[in-house]
Amino acid sequence: MTLLQVEALDCRYGLLQAVRGVSFDIAQGETLALIGANGAGKTTLLRAIAGAHRPATGRVWFAGADITHMPAHRRVELGIALVSEGRRLFPSLTVEENLRVASARRRGRWNVDTVLDVFPLLKPRRHMPAATLSGGEQQAVAIGRALMSNPRLLLLDEVSLGLAPVVVDAVYRSLGDVIGEGATVLLVEQDLTRALQVAGRVVCMLEGRVVLQGEAASLDRDRVVSAYFGLRRPA
Amino acid sequence: MTVANAVLQGVFLGAFYAVLACGLSIMFGVMRIINLAHGDVAVLGAYIVYVIVERTGVPAFVAFAVALPVMVLLGYVLQLTVLERSLKSGILTPLLATFGLSIVIQNLLQLVFSPDVRSLGGSAGSVTTASWQVTSGLSVSALGLLVLVVAVLLFAALQLFLSKTRAGWIMRATAEDADAAELAGIDSRSVYARATAIAVGIAALGGLFLGIRSVFDPVSGPTQLIFAFEAVVIGGMGSLWGTLLGGIALGVAQTVGAQIHPQFAVMAGHLLFLAVLIVRFGGGRLVLRTA
């Protein structure tokens, strides 16, 4: 079953066109990696799906409903959660408060305790302001905050950015638990190897367009690399 | 002893300024809106109380209990209809919108109530005249004490709301990062409307105290706004307890200034305000958050 369908989406910042006619879809339970160089439009695309950026044209469908003009907070209620690039925590709120402001009405397995079980490093930090946490801890809170709404579709924007490799491993191990639960995940990742490892399918963007997509297992690395840098455009 | 008395009276006066400043501080803290109509909203609240007192003969405090929900609702609607739209177009537009609102409120009040001066002092009972002589040079007025107690309770209640309740966390989260709050499932429009509703309700309380302490007319708002604004800036913009302390500092500066010369009272407050501005924001440290 198709959970998310993006149809000929155009996103602009004034005169700059960040996303150009992008179409793709994600099936329920699938993990899809969105890759591409800096400025390829990945973050904008994710923000448009989450409702934080209003697309110029095109449509976004979620679970059969047209959500193109729905505000972000209502999409969260429908089950779309975005972990923003740069974490974007509420700095003066404690870890627990950061999690609890995001608990939507949707029922599911995620609450403060289950999130802390998946990210045990947060347990001793529970009552500390988010501003005092390390980068890895902040990333865990950001992912936990997205999980609190019990999303059907989890959007992850560069969760490894600015983190030490050992911390990235820990974050992805925890994500493995989440993905293993049958969640649908759309992730943006700069690290190609990791993206191909985690995702079932890969969509590669270049200058706002989709230049390559396919099953992660069937794509050979050279083709992905050339699409990534735009060395040789597929016919 | 006269200086001690001046300081004490300054604390009472400052508590009144803090109540006036509280709503201004909330709106700035949550939405970065400097509400230039805040003083006029307070005066509007005083007029609503006045009308209820005139029509029914109930004491001013009872009339306020009736006026409060009206003002809270007014704040909610004001945010959704006027301020919400202005917020979408940069930081200057809300300033202009509230400036316009200030003029509209003043002219409506002129139209309905004429420029006559009114007071709520006569309908507030014995609290306006009662006082205790502590020593020969030191006296505590019942009204001053009442305003101080109410101000402290008000700020304590707001502090508890913001730090202990989920609605308070949501308000702080939205204030810190409205975009991230939306993505966490928070309806920022509704949070803003609630913040303005609270601010307008507290402004009405300030209007009640204004009317009981002294007199008001349709153009009293801007003067109150200036004192409220000075209290907010002296206390550190957007900080709640700072606003209470800022109001008290302003009140003390005015009453101590009056000891030096009766006409120096308001000027002393302005000088304190300017001194704080120079010390805190001198050297280009004033940074307006735009996003």
Please provide the DSSP assignment of chain A as one string: -EEEEEEEEEEEETTEEEEEEEEEEEETT-EEEEE--TTSSHHHHHHHHHTSS--SEEEEEETTEE-TT--HHHHHHHTEEEE-TT----TTSBHHHHHHTT--S--SS-SHHHHHHH-GGGGGGTTSBGGGS-HHHHHHHHHHHHHTT--SEEEEE-TTTT--HHHHHHHHHHHHHHHHTT-EEEEE-S-HHHHHHH-SEEEEEETTEEEEEEETTTS-HHHHHHHHHTSS---
The mean pLDDT value for A200-212 works out to 91
Confidence of residue A174 (pLDDT cuts 50, 70, 90): confident
CB contact under 8 A, B187 and A73: yes
Sign of CA dihedral B227, B229, B232, B235: negative
Q: How far apart are CA A22 and CA A8, in angstroms?
A: 5
pLDDT value of position B289: 46
Crossing angle (nearest 10°) for helices A135-147 and A165-180: 10
CB B68 within 8 Å of CB B254: no
User: Which of A46, A53, A73 to probe the B interface (max B CBs under 10 A)?
Assistant: A73
pLDDT value of position A170: 80
Option in B182, B185, B187 nearest A149 (CB): B185
Q: Which residues in chain B have their CB less than 8 angstroms from residue A145's CB?
A: 184
CB A162 within 8 Å of CB A142: no
Nearest one of B2, B65, B54, B35 to B224, comparing CA atoms:
B35
The mean pLDDT value for A55-80 works out to 94
- Show the tokens assigned to B221: 């708002």
Nearest one of B257, B225, B247, B273 to B14, comparing CA atoms:
B247
Q: How far apart are CA B241 and CA B250, in angstroms?
A: 14
Q: Tally A–B CB contacts below 8 A.
A: 66
Option in A52, A92, A93 nearest B183 (CB): A52
pLDDT value of position B290: 42
Domains and CATH numbers, chain A: 2-229 (3.40.50.300)
Q: Could you list the mean pLDDT of each consecutive 10-residue stretch along chain B, which spans 291 residues?
A: 88 97 94 95 97 95 97 97 91 93 97 95 87 86 95 96 95 95 95 97 97 96 96 86 95 94 92 90 53 38
CB A4 within 8 Å of CB A60: yes
> Where is pLDDT greater, at A231 or A186?
A186
As beta bridge partners, residue A83 has A156
- Show the tokens assigned to B261: 């010369």
What type of residue sits at position B96? L
> In 10 A of CB A18, how many CB atoms?
22
CB contact under 8 A, B185 and A71: no
Nearest one of B20, B31, B57, B41 to B232, comparing CA atoms:
B20
Option in B172, B182, B185 nearest A90 (CB): B172
Q: Does B167 touch chain A (CB under 8 A)?
A: no
Instruction: ipTM value, please give it.
Output: 0.90
Question: What's the pLDDT tens digit per position in A81-106?
Answer: 999 988 899 999 999 999 999 987 78
pLDDT value of position B1: 57
- Show the tokens assigned to B138: 């030191």
Crossing angle (nearest 10°) for helices B240-260 and B2-31: 150
Option in B166, B179, B185 nearest A104 (CB): B185
Sign of CA dihedral B100, B244, B288, B23: negative
Question: What's the pLDDT tens digit per position in A149-172?
Answer: 999 999 999 988 878 888 888 888
Q: Does B291 touch chain A (CB under 8 A)?
A: no
Confidence of residue A4 (pLDDT cuts 50, 70, 90): very high
pLDDT value of position B288: 47
CB contact under 8 A, A102 and B185: yes
Option in B170, B172, B180 nearest A84 (CB): B180
Q: What are the residue ranges spanned by the domains of chain B?
A: 22-219
Q: How far apart are CA B197 and CA B77, in angstroms?
A: 8
CB contact under 8 A, B173 and A76: no
- Show the tokens assigned to B258: 């009056």
pLDDT surpasses 50 at A133:
yes
pLDDT value of position A56: 94
Q: Nearest-CA residue of chain A relative to B175? A: A90
Q: Which residue has the tokens 């924007």?
A: A157
CB B167 within 8 Å of CB A68: no
What type of residue sits at position B157? A
Q: Does B54 touch chain A (CB under 8 A)?
A: no
Q: How far apart are CA B184 and CA B201, in angstroms?
A: 28
> In 10 A of CB B107, how many CB atoms?
12
Nearest one of A144, A114, A129, A150 to B172, comparing CA atoms:
A129
CB A111 within 8 Å of CB A148: yes
CB B37 within 8 Å of CB B165: no
